[in-house]
Chains A and B, each alone.
Chain A
Amino acid sequence: MSNWDRFLDSFFNARVAWEYLPRIVDGFWLTILLALCIIASGLAAGLGLAVARSLGLRPLNWLIVFLVDLFRALPPLVIIALLYFGLPAAGLSLSGFAATWLSLSLVLMAFAEEIIWAGITATPRGQWEAARSTGLSFLQTLGWVVLPQALRMVIPPLTNRTIAITKGTALGSVVAVSEILGAAQAGVSFSFNPTPLTLGALAYVVLFVPVVILGRWIETRFAWKR
């Protein structure tokens, strides 16, 4: 067997691919589910924190900045491990899925808060003044005037960060979540052949290329007419 044949047999073994494809497909759907959960809760929490921060209550803002800096500083894998392996010692055990969801949501929350907050502070003060001078309340101004502009401004960094953190779902494989990477690694262990990893990589491409394109589309869709 030549080296080339050995390479093909290792990474593109049709028999192994066929055998483990169903598990990778299951992992694919699980990754999508996990990613959607993370995006929904992470962005919602980030938006909530940014809105809370705009109220300008100093002790609350200290708390928000502390939380945000903490979850931006910690490696996501450390948070996952802490929640999954550490919490049971405190009498509370999370499934691998829940631990991954919660951890990556907290990380996305932290980054999303910073990005949205940047957008809020970048919105000209005159927008606030004009809206308030017509009698709109603080929250009405935030919701109808400032946030629509702030969010449009930050769509590019927000999509980038969302994609980067969503790819962190692969970290779930460490805590026995059989998402794409977990399923692929299990396949490798059972078949003694790395072909399932090739399938996994393909699955990530199939999943994330459309997400990247969607991000680009959102950026153009929400640019306002000039």
Chain B
Amino acid sequence: MVFTGGGIILCILILSCLAPIAGDPCSVNMDERLSPPSFKHPFGTDQLGRDMLSRVLHGGRVSLIVAITISLLSMVVGCFVGAVSGYFGGVVDDVIGRIVDVFMSIPEIVLNIAMVGVFCAVYGVSTFIVIFAVVFTNWVGYARLMRGMVLSLKEREFVLCAKAIGAGEWYILFRHIIPNAAGPLIVLATLNIGNVIMTIASLGFLGLGIQPPIPEWGQILNSGKNYITTAPWISFFPGLFIALSVLGFNILGEGLNAES
């Protein structure tokens, strides 16, 4: 499973890295608009005559970079909050616990839409806002997992030994506890990237994510919905790549989980 998932992801990553070879994703050619897939344009062209292969591969770069960035940032924030909550306990744990409950009580996508909507209305749309909005809701899963891990690890002998020789609390947290919780967190992060790709694509489809002319899978998918009967390739290929990448990350995550 690890190899299958990893293989799919690796293929998509290699293709995305090769995107510049496919040409400029913004190059307009109105004489070739809405051309079906052909040897010249393997994925066809869109309503401005732009090569869909180039747009999908460049879109992959954007979607994957943003998804991985969001997952890493969410992991950092979630781990820190969860570790502090679990290790110090008491009032800190209660307060963080209630905050987590609040976040968990609202569907993630609804919160994302609200966040992006509010910030974009005030500051305009930017990739940074999308990243911020998704990280804002995405850290909770990591925090819960980390808290549980810390609660179990802090009673273990190596932590008690570290305390006995006079190690500081932050030192113990960062040097002994967090590294020992890394395994399950990596599995969660791998599974989470797939969800984040879906979230970004959903926001892009709703027009709330990364904005044109930067190509992004969800946004390309949306731009093709008016042409679904006359030029289905505009929506098909970004949809296929979203499905494949989510599938790849999920298989990889499941595989890592099974092996751990």
A and B are interacting partners: no
B residues lining the A interface (CB < 8 Å) = none
A residues lining the B interface (CB < 8 Å) = none
